[in-house]
Structure 1
Amino acid sequence: MSVSRSRHRAVGASLLTLALLTLSCLTHSAHAAEPVKNDGGSAPEQGGGSDDTGIYAAARITYSGSVAKNGSTGNVTSADVNWTPPPCWYAPYLGAKDFKKKMSQDIESQMGAPGMGGHAGAALSELKRHYEDEYGWTDTPGYKDYNVDKDGEGMFWAAVENPNEPDLLKRSSCNDLPFWVDNGEAPPPQYEQAITPEILAALAYQHMQLPDTEVSLAPEQTTKVNLPTWAWLDKAVFDEVQATASLNVPGFNLQATTTARPVSLTLEPGTDDAVTYPASGECLINNDDSIGEPYAKGKADRTPPCGITYLRSSGNGTYSLQATITWDISWTGTGGAGGDLPDGTFGNGQAVTVQEIQSVNR
């Protein structure tokens, strides 16, 4: 290969990189997911939104089931500190004609803006050429007239940012140019972050809202030093929880349901001057799906299967008993897909007063 041709390709690749950065600025509002209200008003949706011309943007993800309101992050915490929901993904964006209209407007607007000469102007020209000339200018394959002759047969896919991801760099890490996918076909394998049932399951996990659970205690709220306090959760108090994430556009429909099942209760007394039962503080679920055992008369001399004995008074204050339920998380999705996700946890604090046992001298 000649030096001039190698230099030509290197320059073209550099301009395409700059074009990619320019594109990010052009279409950021269309690619960033934003919560909206669905027709029913009960479950939030999240997706690419749309620009002020009313052109349909990146496919919205609809959430249903036990999920946080208004697209907010739910209250479940992953027990695996290394696991995080996807910060971004690629999803259907626009059909060929709409994509051409959107991109042409944005590119022409930017090319006419002050200061858009030099490399920035060349990058925009390269970007335009990428979608107008199927042979392109660099080694990157292009499209003939934005693929308008295939309108209705597929869609351009584009990056969608997860608005619940606090790290800006992670949120914007899906930075490939929009690419074409035929209806019914999978995205090219190099786009590992293309939306899948597993990604939808992870997003459902992120938005899942677990129920507040207050542990039953005996004695309730106020107990005595060295007196065993029984703790339990009835089967009727909590059950499995489900959250579903769906993406539906013409020619492309995906869904995943994430299910959380309670498996154990962990008690943290709020002070080192206490003994937990069992010693680990973790009470496993019983065969009847309850946890622990309710206190009843005649059990005063028994050791509770799940509970606490406080060894010192709380004085004029209280101890904050933290009761955390661990949930087993799994998912199922379109096409029979499914698997496990990291366990989730959610806990509540309860104020407990511990008094000294008063004795009377006669």
Structure 2
Amino acid sequence: MGNWTPPACWYEPVSAQEFQKQVEGDYDDIVNDPQQPNYAKSATGQFRDIYKDGKYKNYNLDKADEGNFWVAVQDPNRLDDPDAFTCSDLPFWVENGDTPEVKNAVTPEVLAELAYNRITLPDTKVTLAPEDITKVNLPTWAWLDKAKFKEVSVTAALNVAGLNIQATTTAKPVSLKLEPGTSDAETYPASGECTLNADDSIGEPYAEGKADETPPCGIKYLRSSGNGTYKLRATVTWEITWTGTGGAGGKLPNGTFGNTQDITVQEIQSVNR
């Protein structure tokens, strides 16, 4: 949505015991695999030495109640994204209560950003009256199905190594922009942007008896589309907010989703007697 994407990688804590199990398991798998090249075995051994007998002694197991190792994690859905490999710091130790001094250390806000990437929004097709085929100079009403276009929320949670945080990200539709696909058209309102009504709907469904009224949200085509169609583009702007553990919360960049619909515009036929 929009020009902003949530992080493709982040850092999160693992206990000393879990970190030892992971490192030792990887070491055994690689060193004992005859298919692994020597450089891979050497690199794995060097990595293991840092935490077993080097900078850290025996994986800090004697301090297991005092802190955790923080490790880089990649979004499994974005492994083809180069940004997924920017969390390149080696696992590091953080005392309980301290804040890791690295970008994208997991916090309620980072979880909110990750939840943002999991939000599934409805297709942006708007409801029209007349639908698909309209007449020259006939106002076409446009609106969003209120039952379909409503708030959507996703919650992300992390409960590992004594860290228990969560965040809920909510997307709310706030405006609909109509682009007729031709300069021979007028939009209602003139800006082409239909904003949220008091009841959180956008636009107004057409009802019998309103044929002579001006729609609060819609289009009037001034020229026939001939043997073809016009490409009506409808773009919905979603306002993104989040709340998280400890009363945290705020806004994330708005998201936009657009779609095109084929509109046939015909001349009004008259009969001379």
Query: What TM bracket, shorter-length normalisation?
Result: 0.7 to 0.9
Question: Which structure shows the higher helix fraction?
Answer: 1
Q: Is the 8 A contact 2:8 2:81 kept in 1?
A: no
What CA distance in whole angstroms lies between the structure 2 residues aligned with 1:221 and 1:303?
19
Structure 2 unaligned regions, length at least 5 = none
Q: State how many pairs are aligned.
A: 271
Deviation at 1:215, TM superposition (A): 2.5
Aligned with residue 150 of structure 1, among 63, 68, 90: 63
In structure 1, what is the equivalent of residue 84 of structure 2? 171
What CA distance in whole angstroms lies between the structure 2 residues aligned with 1:300 and 1:115?
76
Identity across matched positions, percent: 62
SS at match of 1:261: strand
Deviation at 1:286, TM superposition (A): 1.4
Q: Is the 8 A contact 1:131 1:143 kept in 2?
A: yes
Which piece of structure 1 moves more, 225-234 or 244-253?
225-234
Aligned with residue 92 of structure 1, among 6, 9, 13: 13
What CA distance in whole angstroms lies between the structure 1 residues aligned with 2:23 and 2:130?
68
SS at match of 1:171: helix
In structure 2, what is the equivalent of residue 206 of structure 1? 117
Deviation at 1:301, TM superposition (A): 3.5
What CA distance in whole angstroms lies between the structure 1 residues aligned with 2:268 and 2:130?
14
* 1:318 has 2:238 as partner: no
What CA distance in whole angstroms lies between the structure 1 residues aligned with 2:155 and 2:185?
41
The two structures have a TM-score, normalised by structure 2, of 0.86
In structure 1, what is the equivalent of residue 129 of structure 2? 218
Deviation at 1:192, TM superposition (A): 2.1
What per-residue deviation string (whole Å, max 9, x for no partner) do you get for residues 48-98 of structure 1? Answer: xxxxxxxxxxxxxxxxxxxxxxxxxxxxx12xx2x22102101124x3234
The two structures have a TM-score, normalised by structure 1, of 0.67
Given the superposition, is the C-alpha separation of residues 352 and 148 from structure 1 closer, same or farther in structure 2, using an over 3 Å criterion? same
**Structure with more relative contact order (C-alpha pairs < 8 Å, separation 6 or more):** 2
Structure 1 unaligned regions, length at least 5 = 1-76, 137-141
Given the superposition, is the C-alpha separation of residues 175 and 227 from structure 1 closer, same or farther in structure 2, using an over 3 Å criterion? same
In structure 2, what is the equivalent of residue 307 of structure 1? 218
Q: Is the 8 A contact 2:232 2:263 kept in 1?
A: yes
Question: How large is the Cα RMSD of the aligned pairs?
Answer: 2.7
Report matched runs for 1:205-284 at 5 Å.
205-212=116-123, 214-233=125-144, 235-284=146-195
Given the superposition, is the C-alpha separation of residues 301 and 100 from structure 1 closer, same or farther in structure 2, using an over 3 Å criterion? closer
Which piece of structure 1 moves more, 284-293 or 199-208?
284-293
Q: Is the 8 A contact 2:174 2:239 kept in 1?
A: yes
What per-residue deviation string (whole Å, max 9, x for no partner) do you get for residues 254-292 of structure 1? Answer: 101011111111112233332211222101111122222
In structure 2, what is the equivalent of residue 59 of structure 1? none
In structure 2, what is the equivalent of residue 185 of structure 1? 97
